[in-house]
Chain A
Amino acid sequence: MKNWFRHTIYIFSENPVSIFAVILFLLYVTMALVGHWLVPYDPYLTNTDIALQPPSVSHWFGTDHLGRDVFSRVVIATRMDLGIAFSAVALSALVGCTLGSLAGYFGGWADQIIGRFTDIVMAFPLFVLAMGLVAAMGNTVENIIYATALINIPFYIRVSRSEVSVRRNLPYVQAALQSGNSHFRALAMHIFPNTLPPLMVQLSLNSGWAILNAAGLSFIGLGVKPPEAEWGIMVAEGANYMISGEWWLVLFPGLVLMMAVFCFNLLGDSLRDIVDPLRRT
């Protein structure tokens, strides 16, 4: 365990940009976990008297059209957005990697069926499919998670399938079989751990994309329902006011959203390096 910790520190110290990404990531996670208790105002409390006030000392991000404090809402929206993203990615990675690994290793009809399924899902422009799914199932937070998970599964199937099939014929896998491992053991314990580095990058990029997806759905009214706070829906609600000059309703949620996705994109490479045995010295 101590080795892992030291190795992690080494990886991050090599690249200063990654330190920035980690700090940002920890900040977001903290906001998601304890944000609700730390915000200055009640995010749902409306007060039309102070509606549409620009940023000031008392309201750092200003107030929205219903008089709610934008800063408080942006902070608590973190839990919603990160929660949706992580749940969706975890679900799709679990299902996708299992299916993809089995398809890549055993081939045959399993590979054919899984391949056809992947082709069909990927035949849809992904956001459009998400729209259709959420529209059909109804917009609840669970459905957004399921829809986002479903459209992401093909990526994991493809990545793990290709990584597994490349390694399947390598001598060390043959050696593992010769040493008494069954095919399942060889796949799970020998091949799969070696596919983790590229997978890590995918997980990280995907998390960023899942957040954008959820926000996009909210923007067109298919996501989280008001008065819930979520970055996308805040931008949607503030869009009308942007054109008449009240820029703070859109800018702050949009910026915070962007920084979250940015942070995940930067983190991908570092996560891969932590997991990659070739980077250990």
Chain B
Amino acid sequence: MQARSFLDINRLSLEFKTRNGVVPVLDNVSMQLNKGEILGVVGESGSGKSVTAYSILNLNGNASTITAGSINFDGLLLHKPSSSLLRDIRGREISIIFQNPMSTLNPIRSVRDHLKDMLTAHAQSTQAGAEKKSLALLEQVKIRDPERVLDAYPYELSGGMCQRVVIALALACSPRLLIADEPTTGLDVTTQKAIMTLIRELALKHDVAVMLITHDLGMAAEYCKNIVVMEKGKVVEKGSVEKLFKAPEHAYTKKLIAATPTAQSELDDLTPDPMLIAKRLQITDDKILEVNNLHKLYGVKKGFSKKETFHAVKGVSFSIKRGECVGLVGESGCGKSTISRMVAKLDDLSDGHIIFDGEDIGSIKAKDFINSNMRKDIQMVFQDPSGSLNPRHTVFDAIVEPLKHLEKISDKKALHKRVLELCQQVDLDANLITRLPHQLSGGQKARVGIARAIAVNPKLVILDEPTSALDVSVQAIVLQLLEKLRHELGLSYLFVSHDLNVVRLFCQRVLVMCNGEIVEHGEVNDVFNMPTNKYTQALLDAIPHFSVNNL
């Protein structure tokens, strides 16, 4: 007989009551977690992984109903909990940490208040002893100056620091199970590694079982022993990391594994049947873009009349050859978005030169560039698919904007024909052109953004993190699409991203940025295999390393 697991979710089914009727969200979900184990629950958006985790602590709200199945936590039945059971369990036996640490903490309560609330709620300490215990908890999560942090408010702390405080709160009452719901999404790559290492260390030290919810298969492989793969509310496969990667059974698992970029994968590996590229582009030495000593200063108002200047970009120089794809990587705040905006002429530079196709466009003001006949040669694909489309415009309206204003086409038939052509090029179903953005999926919105950008046959396309908000399987397809378009239309790309694995398989050369400066640059394989700069090395180390061969 199999020993009963520590946490046993057995055939759980759950539905939500919405305005449009009852929606089934979980269907027959089963998974087990053993004491001291780290289990990874992996899935893309809509897979139901977070809902499963929340149902353990009954956090799904009154509109949700468990229709079948059970949740057994060391003998306690949690699928129909009484409020006294919940009070006992929450925060004390089972803790949960959420995705965005800044919003998980109450903005008007200090760290001290948070810890005191937690400790007194579960009778872990008296009012007097709370301070000492709080400091100890902060030290435990490797916060170097706990006295300062104790009196700080969330807005004064960085994302990583906030997450450490959240972990301290979660472990304050010595729970036996910790649920981590995407704990590192939204944090910088280097911070992500620090947080995950901390969680693993603390889990081992205090014998806490961890359920790690993530969309990142690579991260799950590095930190977990067993993995459960979910799709559309169902569990499609589960097993040890070795078994899953060496011999995946379900088609979805295979698709997910293929689509997750690793240090070895190539662009064609990402999907089972990659797009065929008709003609291969030859890259010559002819430069389409040259950036020399670019600077950007922002004046930041601090108080009544004081003005501080923030030097966002400090003397950056690089070039892009015709037909080439150059990656620009760095963590948030390094200045990569600022550079992309200046090259796209959406923002003015403070100093330096931008030479595009032989002409100095740096001196033209951003607001005057609209009248230049080079406006259509430089186009940008934006990051956030939801924010990049006007909520009132249909797909058709969005794509014709540049055609109407930059190519001055007014004939309705001609516009319609061109839009259909573009839809075909980006593999977008023509029936969708009358839809509004909120009626489209993430991948469809991304394609509309791409269609809009290539509508006027630009020479340089700036891709500002075009896939970071997309599911990894959708990202795979979009990246292959972009590659196909580059070859077919002879485009040059500036690819801004924080994801090093994607940059490696998508770009020819890469620029690594830190604090407004380029710290390293070169061919992708050179930079990634033999980095010369310490920061580059740190970035590379932070990516979850897992390779099927090493298992």
Most buried by A among B380, B389, B392, B452: B392
> B390 contacts A176, CB within 8 Å?
yes
**Taking the nearest CB of chain A, how far is it from the CB of B10, in angstroms?**
37
On chain A, the residues within 8 Å of B449 by CB distance are 175
Q: Which of A69-77, A136-144, A180-188, A205-213 contacts B (4 or more CB under 8 A)?
A: A180-188
Given known contacts A174-B380, A175-B380, A177-B370, what 13 new A-B pairs fall within 8 Å (CB)? A171-B382, A172-B388, A174-B346, A175-B449, A178-B402, A179-B402, A179-B404, A180-B376, A182-B370, A193-B392, A277-B391, A277-B392, A278-B438
Known A172-B388, A172-B389, A176-B390: A183·B346 in contact at CB below 8 Å: no
- Cβ of A190 within 8 Å of any chain B Cβ, yes or no, is yes
Tell me the bound Cα distance from A183 to B384 in angstroms. Answer: 22
Q: In the complex the two chains form, is B370's CB within 8 Å of A180's CB?
A: yes
A171-B384 in contact (CB<8A): yes
Interface residues of B (CB under 8 A from A): 341, 344, 346, 367, 370, 375-376, 379-380, 382-384, 387-392, 401-402, 404-406, 436, 438-439, 449, 452
Q: Which residue of B lies closest to A276 (CB)?
A: B391
Question: Are B406 and A180 closer than 8 Å at their CB atoms?
Answer: yes
Minimum CB–CB distance for A144 against chain B, Å: 36
CA gap between A176 and B387 in the complex, in Å: 12
Is B390 a contact partner of A179 (Cβ separation < 8 A)? no
Say if the beta carbon of A280 comes within 8 Å of chain B: yes
A170-B387, A172-B387 are known contacts. Are A178 and B392 too (CB-CB below 8 A)? no
CB closest residue in chain B, given A278: B438
- Please measure, in the bound complex, the distance between the C-alpha atom of A170 and the C-alpha atom of B386, giving whole angstroms: 10
With A and B bound together, what is the CA distance between A179 and B388 in angstroms?
13
Distance of B242 from chain A, by nearest CB (Å): 42
Q: By the criterion CB–CB under 8 Å, are A179 and B401 in contact? A: yes
Q: Nearest chain A CB to B438's CB is how many angstroms away?
A: 5
Main secondary structure of the interface of A (DSSP, over half): helix
Q: Which of A179, A194, A281 contacts B391 (CB 8 A)?
A: A194
A172 with B344: CB separation less than 8 A: no
A277 to B394, CA, bound (A): 10
B390 to chain A, nearest CB (A): 5
Q: Which residue in chain B gives the minimum CB-CB distance to A3?
A: B434
Residues in A with CB closer than 8 Å to B436 are: 277, 280
Inter-chain contacts of A174 with B (CB < 8 A): 341, 346, 380, 382
A174→B384 CA distance, assembly (Å) = 12
A149 to B330 CA separation, bound complex (whole angstroms): 52
Residues in A whose Cβ lies below 8 Å from that of B405? 179-181
Contacting pair B384 A177 (CB below 8 A):
no
* Contact between B390 and A172, CB atoms less than 8 A apart: yes
Chain A residues whose C-beta falls within 8 Å of the C-beta of B376 in the assembled complex:
180
CB of A175 within 8 A of CB of B382, answer yes
Q: Which 10 A-B pairs have the closest CB atoms?
A: A180-B405, A171-B382, A171-B388, A179-B402, A179-B401, A180-B406, A171-B387, A172-B390, A170-B387, A277-B392
Q: Which residues of chain A are within 8 angstroms of B392 by Cβ–Cβ distance?
A: 193-194, 277
How far is it, in angstroms, between the C-alpha of A179 and the C-alpha of B406 when the chains are bound?
6
CB-defined A-B contacts under 8 Å, sample of 21: A170-B387, A171-B388, A172-B382, A172-B387, A172-B390, A175-B401, A175-B449, A176-B401, A178-B375, A179-B404, A179-B406, A180-B370, A180-B401, A180-B402, A180-B404, A180-B405, A181-B401, A190-B390, A277-B436, A277-B438, A278-B391
Residues of A within 8 A of B344 (CB): 178
Question: Is the pair A171, B346 in contact by a Cβ cutoff of 8 Å?
Answer: no
Docked complex Cα distance between A174 and B378 (Å): 13
Q: A175-B382, A175-B452 are in contact. Are A194 and B406 (CB under 8 A)?
A: no
Chain B, residue nearest A275 (CB): B392
Min CB gap B65→A, angstroms: 24
Query: Whole-angstrom distance between the alpha carbons of A71 and B390 in the complex?
Result: 50
